[in-house]
Amino acid sequence: MSEQSAAGASGRPAGRLLEVDDLRVEFRTRDGVAKVINGVTYHVDAGETLAVLGESGSGKSVTAQTIMGILDTPPGFVTGGQARFHGKDMLKMSFEERRRIRGEGIAMIFQDALSALNPVFTVGFQIAEQFRVRRGMSRSDAKKRAIEMLDQVKIPNAKGRFSNYPHQFSGGMRQRAMIAMSLALDPEVLIADEPTTALDVTVQAQIMDLLAELQRERQM
């Protein structure tokens, strides 16, 4: 999509959102030091889709985790570069500053939705909690919004599935629920870390079509 010179229909600001500049990450273990990311550079503009390609183990997930501020340290350490959101280097932000951006500014869809979702709580509760904690909504309003999110990602009988646990969803439905959770706070940038890895070919195509449709609707 072309860059817009003014705010789009969604009210989002146009222009450059995310800039990764010469990012370097290494893992330090007893066996030595492994340079996992060595100078990754890219940028994402408003309304743009960017694909980061690489074979398994090349550092794609580590790059995403570093941007999101969820890299396990140790063993992972950022040794250089910047990751700027709206021009501000997130790598130098405080925990609280990064927490505010996570979910509302940048959100992430993980490879394995079953591991990412908490098995103890229902899927609907986990989505609703974001509205309660981050938006200050009442339980009833948060539940209503969570059901709306499940409906937006085309989960059949969204109201009924609100009370289901992650293991009661199929792989494709879990990934849709993960997408709903990621989009709940209306982020400007959505990072999808191989979101179709564990799905069959037909479901993969459905998930990719859904993401493309949501991007158009939300002007991400």
Whether 3 maps to a domain, the answer reads: no
Does residue 28 belong to any structural domain of this protein? yes
Q: Are 172 and 150 in contact (CB under 8 A)?
A: no
Whether residue 212 sits in one domain with residue 132: yes
Q: What is the pLDDT of residues 13-69, one digit of tens each?
A: 568 999 999 999 999 999 999 999 999 999 999 889 999 998 888 999 999 999 999
Q: Considering Cα of 33, then 34, then 36, then 41, what sign does the dihedral take? A: positive
Nearest alpha carbon to residue 39 among 75, 17, 63 = 63
pTM of the model: 0.85
CA dist., res. 66 & res. 81, Å (int): 11
118 and 214 part of one domain: yes
Could you say which of 82, 102, 122 is where a domain stops?
Answer: 102
Tally the domains of the chain.
Answer: 2
**What's the CATH number where 156 sits?**
3.40.50.300
Full domain range(s) for residue 122:
113-218
Asked if 210 and 136 sit in the same domain, the reply is yes
pLDDT digits (tens, 9 = 90+) for 190-218: 999 988 887 889 999 999 999 999 988 88
On whether residue 55 sits in a domain, the answer given is: yes
> Does residue 183 sit in the same domain as residue 148?
yes
